[in-house]
Structure 1
Amino acid sequence: MSYVDEIIQEVVVKNPSEPEFHQAVKEVLESLRPVIEENEDSYRREALLERMVNPERQIKFRVPWVDDQGQVHVNTGYRVQFNSSIGPYKGGLRFHPSVNLGIIKFLGFEQSFKNALTGLPIGGGKGGADFDPKGKSDREIMAFCQSFMTELYKYIGCGSDVPAGDIGVGAREIGYMYGQYKRITGLYEGVLTGKGLSYGGSLARTEATGYGLLYLTEEILKINNIKLAGKTCAVSGSGNVAIYAIEKAQQLGAKVVTCSDSNGWIYDPKGIDLELLKEIKEVKRARLTEYVKARPDAQYHDGRGVWSIKVDIALPCATQNELLPEDAKQLVENGCLAVCEGANMPTTFEATEYLQEHGVIFAPGKAANAGGVATSALEMTQNSERLSWTFDEVDAKLKQIMVDITHNIDSAAKRYGHEGNYVAGANIAGFEKIVNAMTAQGIV
């Protein structure tokens, strides 16, 4: 049995009931086969893959909190510190009922490669809790965040582990957690990113993941002699990533005609009205059904179907495993040119393979949505220097990072005979950087 197959089998046996983690490890290692087979003896001797698929540390803790009626609730919190070979652990906190250890491990494993691709000195980690912020008052959110940080603070710090936001964790939640960290430790340091501008946050952080996705999309199309301007795009999601992906796509001359939330999706043939979408989602925190009340030409559909519209480019920006094989077939039939992932692993393995086999340009999330964590690292730099850069300065650095990532994954794929396979290219480029650092630091 090959080394890759051994490790995939071992991960499944040692991590039962964690299908998302199994999926992530399998997808990454399968794409790395040519690199691993070229160095199999030395990698096996140093148990390199075993060390790479096992987190350096995984923390699980209870989070008790009291609601507005005086009822006590108990949730489960997690922090998985996956790999620190190239820098402090860096990765978001997710508050969502679906959160479990397997999902956090899958996200942390992916994060290690994504962070390596940025070219910045940050390792990989992820965390969160099975808490649902929806429908909770600000006081309830604060109570939960303070309880969560009362345990988490023991394991993080500006030089060891710097969490950020993710699904369910925005500026409000970061603020409450930062206040509790400062209250407990007495330290005013850059221990969380995504902070408010009044206390150490970075301009352009809010826009970074969506903007970065479009900078990479534009560059990867350019490599393939295609212009983004004038193209029609489908976007899923209507959260932070989706909203700012739509904004930047429109700025770059593309027309976005869809978006979605957990209940349904919108098709607006005239192009998504961004100001209306922001009003509904960022101000009112309402459902997309409100959109069609103000835009009579738009259509609202319950459930799935956002990928059924004929478009040139698909940008999945909602959540993991949202683009299924039947969606991939629909996109191919409709002549879609490219799929670039704004969310973390939103396209299933089978759908990814189908798209690649049918000549669709496919940019994986670990490269395409790295703009968020890259700008978080830029926030860490500003905090360390006690400086604040302008929006344009941060945005220029973000664009350069995304352009560099595009060319790095393109050249890595070519080096191993996989030209145009950007999944392999992203995994190879990230893997090589992590391996070099792990090898240099000995068996740790």
Structure 2
Amino acid sequence: MQDIAEQLQAWHAAGRSFAVATVVGVSGSAPRDPGAALAVDADGEAVGSVSGGCVEGAVYELCREAIESGQPVLERFGYSDEDAFAVGLTCGGILDVFVQPIVPGADAGLDAGITYIASGTPVALVRVIEGPTALLGATVAVTADTHHGALSPAGPSTTGALERSAVAEARALLDAGKTAKVTLALDGRPCTPMVSAGMPAGTAASTVTFFVESYVPKPRMLVFGAIDFAAAVVRIGKFLGYRVTVCDARPVFATRRRFPEADEVVVDWPHRYLDAQLAAPERNAGIDGRTVLCVLTHDAKFDIPLLERALRLPVGFVGAMGSRKTHLDRNAKLREVGLTEAEIARLRSPIGLDLGARTPEETAVAVAAEIVASRRGGGCLPLSAGAGPIHHDLERAGGKPAKGRRVA
């Protein structure tokens, strides 16, 4: 929903009713991740996407129906062997889509959530997508220190334990910047979806499944070394959705004119900049497990003090440019300053996949490809060379394809 938050906030501020269709579950070769959203307002205007085109028309109609009925609905779209031309995903994947009507001012949780998302304030939006009919669509907006909304209009006396547990689970996911389903018993105890699915008919309503969407600032890409290759890495980093900082100790190179697309251009020694970011919590927003560090200086006086710190941080990716000889010399120097073999093994060097790249733009593509592969678990082979799942992160998460289409 984050990518359409600005339009949702505009509709909300104008008092226009709308419906939001959100991908809440995927398996197989589904084209969009959980959290992808399509919204339709009362006039029929649509923004966003849930499938890249496969089922957009059907989801659009579900949104229109939800606006009219005022009722949320969970529907599964997937390939059907019995009717291959029915509305579904020809790629063979499965999408679970939750469609929720929204009337501005009618739900404190949704109102607060939309406002927080549009302002960039970290928030987890917690919505009931399966469970007792009276709770479907109930929404709570959870921040680091408070929450808005309630699971039941009757008040917390009827759902207090459940709400407290849902808020605690959501806050933990928000801290990690993750989006996930959470299933709880009505008394708030953890309960896996598999347990719920195995219950006798009529008893599954004793569990509640929440979809928790964490909205956090964009992940950071820190590019050290204001060289010509850095300009191309900045552009592709922005394309991938990172907030990009360029840092170099040489003021003649680290200029806004050379890097107009960067979010920040900093003149400082790389290791001092990193130390300052970590020392000031208010400036350290976003240096976390999603952060990417691209060290492009290939100069030991810059690289070694920086990498000594970076390789001990719980960031997502640390890569360094340089020849294979530079790489071996750099590793030897890192051992001299006390890094362990396990810490040194975290360094991706020479940075980038072997694409035969020559130009700065080609090199940036190679760097970006390694970052994506590292994040998603890709095998770095041509898709035509394999026969397994395309989406490796879903395979690792235990997603299994299923057949058919249902409405819940």
Could you say whether these structures have the same fold, taking a TM-score greater than 0.5 normalized by the shorter chain as the test? Answer: no
- Which has more strand, going by share of residues? 2
TM-score under structure 1 normalisation? 0.28
- Which has more helix, going by share of residues? 1
Structure of higher CA gyration radius: 2
